[in-house]
Amino acid sequence: MKITGINYNINSIIPAVLLLLVAAFPLKAQDGVEEDERVVRKVADYILKEASFEFEGEEDQKIYASVADIPKNVEVKFRSKYGEWHYTNGVVNMAMINLSDFLGEKKYFDFAANHVAFGFNNYKFFQKRFKGDRRHHQYPFGQLWTMEELDDCGAMGASIIEVYGKVKKKEYKEYIDNTARHITERQERLDDKTLVRTFPQKMTLWADDLYMSVPFLARMGALTGDRKYFDDAVRQVLNFDKYLWLEDKGLYYHCYYSDSDKNGVAHWGRSNGWVVEAQVHLLEYLPEDHPQRGDIIKNLEKQLIGLSRYQDEKGLWHQLLDKPESYAETSCSAMFVHGIAKAINEGWLDKRFASVAINGWEGLKKEMIAEDGQVDAICVGTGIRNDLVFYYTRPARPNEKHGVGSVIDAGVEIIKLKKLLARG
C-alpha cells in the first residue's frame, strides 16, 4: 500500500490504527458508566446539601437545633423535608444506603443513620405535646409512634432494619419488632389475608401498599430467619396480582374496592412502580430454595415486559401509563428503569430488554435531571379517585421525595447493567 510516496504494510498498520482509535475513543460503555456515576452522585449530593435535621418555628421561622430549645408555646415544623418521618423518607434512606454500599462511601449511609437518629432523639417531645388536634401524619414524628396504616411504618421500618445492621440500638430493634407486629397482626386484611387499608375507605386495596409491606417483610425474614415473613410477602405479591392485574393491557390498576368487587379507573404510573419495587426487594432477600421464588420471578417478568410496551420515544413513561397524552413522570420511569436493569443483572429477565432500561435512563438524564442534581417532574402524593381527571391533573414538582430515591437506585443498577453488558 502506498500513500504520499511512502510504502506501508497493511498488516502492521491496522493494529496501530486500532490502538490509536481506542486511545482516542475509549469504550462507549465505559464512558457512559463514568457519566452515570457522576449523575447519580449529583442527585445524592443535592439531597445531602438540602437536608437539615433541625426544626423551624411555624410563625417566626426561628431555627431550633434541639427540642430542648423549643419554647412551650411555640409550634414548629421540620426545617427540611428530609428530616420528616414519612414513607418517602424510608425510600430515600434505602436508596442512599444502596449508593453507599455501591460506591463504598460512608457519607451516604450516614445520611440515613442521622435521619433515623434524629427521629428517635426527638419524637418523645412531640408525643407528649400531641393533643389529637391534627392527624397523626401531619404532626412532627406522629407516624413514628402511631401506626395506623402501612405507609406509617413499612418503608421507614425497612430502612431502619438497614440502619440497624450497622447501628445496634435497642430502640431501633423495638421499633422494628413493633412494625412487624403491626403488619402481621394489626393491619386489616381480606379473608384471604391480603393487606388492605382502613383509610380513607375501609377494606380497599392499594397497589402502593405492596411496597409499604413487602420490602419490610422481606428484610424481617432475613433479620430473624423466620420463614413466616417471607411466606407473607410472597402471599401479598401474588394476591395483589390477582386483584389488580389487567391481562389485556399488561398493567396494574391503582386500587381494588372489596365492598363492590371492582377496580378503580387508573393505571397510575407510580402505583405500578411500587409493585415493581416490592418484587425486586423481595427477590433480593427471598431464599433461593423458597418454593414460590419462581412464581415471583415469573410475575415480575410478566410485569416488566408489559411495561416495556408503554415507553415513549424519549425513553420515559407517563403519569397514566396507557394515556400517552398525560405527562411524562419521573418517579415511575425511574422505578421501571431500576426494576428492568436489576432483573437483568440478577438473571430474572432476559438481556434482550436491556435497551429498555438504558433508553429509560438516558431519557431521565436528558429530560429530568438538572446539572446541579435537581430532579424534575415527580408527581406529588396521590390518593385514589374514580375519575381520570384527578390523575391527569396531579401536580408534578421538582425534588419530591416520592421520586429522588428511585432515581438513585435506577442509576446504580444501570451502571451495573452496562458493566455486565461490556463483559458480554
pLDDT tens-place string over residues 332-373: 999 999 999 999 999 999 999 999 999 999 999 999 999 999
For residue range 278-328, list pLDDT tens digits in order: 999 999 999 999 999 999 999 999 999 999 999 999 999 999 999 999 999
Are the C-beta atoms of 347 and 396 separated by less than 8 Å? no
For residue range 182-215, list pLDDT tens digits in order: 999 999 999 999 999 988 889 999 999 999 999 9
Distance, in Å, from the CA atom of 342 to the CA atom of 33, rounded to the nearest integer, reads 16
| Amino acid of residue 190 | L
Is residue 265 pLDDT above 90, yes or no?
Answer: yes
Are the C-beta atoms of 59 and 127 separated by less than 8 Å? no
Distance, in Å, from the CA atom of 283 to the CA atom of 297, rounded to the nearest integer, reads 8
3-class secondary structure, 259 = coil
Is residue 143 pLDDT above 50, yes or no?
Answer: yes
Q: What is the mean pLDDT of the chain?
A: 93
Buried b (16+ CB within 10 A) or exposed e, 244-255: bbeeeebbbbbb
Distance, in Å, from the CA atom of 155 to the CA atom of 179, rounded to the nearest integer, reads 10
Report angle CA 391, 190, 180 to the nearest 5 degrees. 90
3-class secondary structure, 213 = coil
Is residue 395 pLDDT above 60, yes or no?
Answer: yes
Q: How far from each other are the two terminal CA atoms of the chain, in whole angstroms?
A: 35
Q: Which cell numbers hold the place of 280? A: 425486586
Mean pLDDT across 401-419 = 98
Q: Which cell numbers hold the place of 82? A: 428530609
For residue range 20-57, list pLDDT tens digits in order: 333 333 345 455 999 999 999 999 999 999 999 999 99
Q: What secondary structure does DSSP assign to 288-310, as a single string?
A: TT-TTHHHHHHHHHHHHHHHHTT
pTM of the model: 0.92
